[in-house]
Structure 1
């Protein structure tokens, strides 16, 4: 006999726990099932631990540049990776502990530790118990992909999780993938003191971004000593005599051989849907294993929804959290919120960071509608000059007829925070003419925004 409840939530990433809490608070008897770590990727091996280590890497970088600010420090800068890891572990443990204490004390919420598998459309089995509910929510996240290169099985391949367990600094780290995860780890470990080489199959870094963003990000990391190889083809891997990794590959038509101590795979992620028994429930997935959902996160089975990374509708903590908000409002408040209502927004947490909202220039050009563009270098920002961090630029794209923002790419000091102002303006549907009359605080990074809006030019005048 199945144990009956009102709702089952499978997975405790950035959607599951908060949705379970909302349902429980509404008086619904809810079961939250987690097979490993509460908090999912973000808390355990994503945002929180990586940004904690990024902070340590920045501290080392700032100390090395102290003399530029008239500050004298004694001797060369050293990094104790064991201590960096210990600090990261403390921050993660505190986050997990806080989440655990909160969830275990909520009325109407039962937390089960174990691996859930579907045995029917709205029935799951965990351990020796079968649970049934009229509503089931899947929030199982994803895991790292590995290259399928010949010989890859002969060497240790690190991913975003195992990379942060190292207690000894790599002598030479090869990062496979020049996108968000790859670039963050590349800069981080270069600042820790490792030699770092990045391999990318595409012709440039973060290929989804506009070319000038890719060029500037590459230049920033190259100035810190990170090496890049693009157009990588035909790579083969072998274990070297010293236990490291030997790579033979073709990069942009040139044959190369690289010896490294460590290999990090950062080529993307796949959903954790392979062992959920979805076929027994009749829940459809796409060719990559992502659960197919509509604009309100409904799966192909009535009464079953998929949230977070596993639905392919957003691979970020904030989009997963927003999935929970959409679900809660629709189910508990009778709303009709949709995934397509949210404005795309994300950041790349290199130093300086990239903040991105809305459409890229390539996407705006594809619309074939009149548009305006504004670009200014970060060297125009007083705060950037004062701190000696003038790398990057600000770029906005505007609908020429409505004067509404279409998108923005801010690469520079505090760009991940400044871009939030533009995001709110897009959400409020504000015309850019309002920016020209605003009086921002001096000296801040945001004070360049009115100047940026005042020098917009037709997009067709800007070379591709």
Structure 2
């Protein structure tokens, strides 16, 4: 097996790996990209692009009681092929295979019909994460076609008769509501006391009510004990409820939405002196460099927050620090610390759940302590919501009572992500809550609700 040497090698073509490979090649470096499955990574092929396309079809089914043409595969194909064409145009050599280290700066790539040995002066790891499987007694005995994860559930040709969802996080809620709208009976099982554990309890309670209104059964403080199958019940799940004796629930399909695992096992990272966390995430510096000099990790593989937009910003950090001409001074480096306070995210249920900044519980833990004020109002107070008959939802904000700065904002609503982005811009630009109260927004728009939210601003009583 001959050895190919490159100036730079990117392992994995996710939302940071693909543009990084193009940028490296564009800077004059001989660059290779190693991808074992498909260009575009999780977001394009199994994550944001296909799931949100399906959610849009689910919305059509919900409102019109008919699902239009299934568009997911065509859109995924279009996005993936676009990425492949951009890599080709940039001059990146793409090796379709699985990479593993055999030493510092040296890799073996297992490919169909053989393999390649690759070395590079710079190595970038962008291998992402995969759905994890819980340690559940009896799980391996169940028909694999009925045990689904966030990838395989998208390939179902028919709606399950009864889908049981393990996990009340973003994936569990999005797919649970989607298949309910496609006609399935859906039960969501959550170990903790609320759905979306990261969220403010008031926000979590709001989305719980909405899902229940949509006909979804939600079991909180409930843990799976074991699973069996019988001729009449393909999925028979024994549960430990909050009180009382164990109970049993039967269904036709089981969605495992219990977290994700970093794709680091097959990389043989110790051979490259690359350190990982106990969960297997690669440990990186604020500039994304690993414990091995000249080797970097981007995206979900280095741990939370695991969002596509964070992965793309990882690419920007590498681009600004390594490809800038002239090189930036240490004090001018673009780092992960700069974005920490205003990382946004959206759960694409319908209505959406969006957040940026601190939750109230987090703001209460600030040191030194702050004088806090909060504002919360229901969707029934929003003109646009009343006009479109989409009043399910709410807004909530946390502000610094002394400076007027917005510390955090959450929204549940049809365009919650877009409203949240307006508040994010205000936070980044130093515009306080009074500035949003006096802003002239177009009428009627969802953002116009930001004029009215502050009318219920009150002192936080710590309860």
Asked whether the two chains share a fold, i.e. TM above 0.5, the reply is yes
> Where does residue 172 of structure 2 map in the other structure?
182
1:375 CA displacement: 1.1
Residues 1:99 and 2:100 are matched in the alignment: no
CA contact (8 A) 2:190 2:220 kept: yes
CA contact (8 A) 1:79 1:193 kept: no
Q: Secondary structure at the match of 2:283?
A: coil
Q: 1:231 aligns with which of 216, 221, 246?
A: 221
After superposition, the C-alpha distances for 1:90-119 in whole angstroms (9 at most, x for unaligned) are 111111111111212223x21111111111
Q: Secondary structure at the match of 1:96?
A: helix
1:413 CA displacement: 2.1
Residues 1:325 and 2:309 are matched in the alignment: no
Residues 1:294 and 2:293 are matched in the alignment: no
1:401 CA displacement: 2.1
CA contact (8 A) 2:60 2:67 kept: no
Residues 1:139 and 2:158 are matched in the alignment: no
Supply the distance in 2 between the matched residues of 1:19 and 1:224 (Cα, whole angstroms): 42
CA contact (8 A) 2:8 2:122 kept: yes
1:399 CA displacement: 1.4
Q: Secondary structure at the match of 1:5?
A: strand
> Where does residue 377 of structure 1 map in the other structure?
378
> Where does residue 447 of structure 1 map in the other structure?
448
Structure 1 residue runs of 5 or longer lacking an equivalent are: 64-76
After superposition, the C-alpha distances for 1:18-50 in whole angstroms (9 at most, x for unaligned) are 011111111111111100011111111111111
1:277 CA displacement: 1.0
CA contact (8 A) 2:22 2:86 kept: no
> Where does residue 260 of structure 1 map in the other structure?
251
> Where does residue 186 of structure 2 map in the other structure?
196
Q: Secondary structure at the match of 2:390?
A: coil
Q: Secondary structure at the match of 2:212?
A: helix
> Where does residue 361 of structure 1 map in the other structure?
360
Supply the distance in 2 between the matched residues of 1:62 and 1:172 (Cα, whole angstroms): 22
Q: Secondary structure at the match of 2:279?
A: coil
1:456 CA displacement: 2.1
Supply the distance in 2 between the matched residues of 1:455 and 1:263 (Cα, whole angstroms): 43
Q: Secondary structure at the match of 1:422?
A: helix
1:397 CA displacement: 1.0
- Deviating 4+ runs (over 3 angstroms): 77-80
> Where does residue 347 of structure 2 map in the other structure?
348
Count of residue pairs the alignment pairs up: 444
Range that drifts further, 181-190 or 141-150: 141-150
Supply the distance in 2 between the matched residues of 1:453 and 1:328 (Cα, whole angstroms): 40
1:454 CA displacement: 4.4
1:234 CA displacement: 5.1
> Where does residue 123 of structure 1 map in the other structure?
106
> Where does residue 274 of structure 1 map in the other structure?
265
Supply the distance in 2 between the matched residues of 1:97 and 1:243 (Cα, whole angstroms): 42
Supply the distance in 1 between the matched residues of 2:17 and 2:224 (Cα, whole angstroms): 41
1:223 CA displacement: 0.3
Q: CA RMSD in A?
A: 1.4
Q: Secondary structure at the match of 1:125?
A: strand
1:121 CA displacement: 1.4
Residues 1:150 and 2:159 are matched in the alignment: no
Range that drifts further, 367-376 or 300-309: 367-376
Supply the distance in 1 between the matched residues of 2:5 and 2:455 (Cα, whole angstroms): 61
After superposition, the C-alpha distances for 1:52-74 in whole angstroms (9 at most, x for unaligned) are 110111111112xxxxxxxxxxx
Structure 2 residue runs of 5 or longer lacking an equivalent are: none
> Where does residue 68 of structure 1 map in the other structure?
none
1:78 CA displacement: 5.0
Q: 1:337 aligns with which of 322, 327, 334?
A: 334
Supply the distance in 2 between the matched residues of 1:417 and 1:340 (Cα, whole angstroms): 24
After superposition, the C-alpha distances for 1:263-316 in whole angstroms (9 at most, x for unaligned) are 000011010001001011110001100001111111111001100000004211
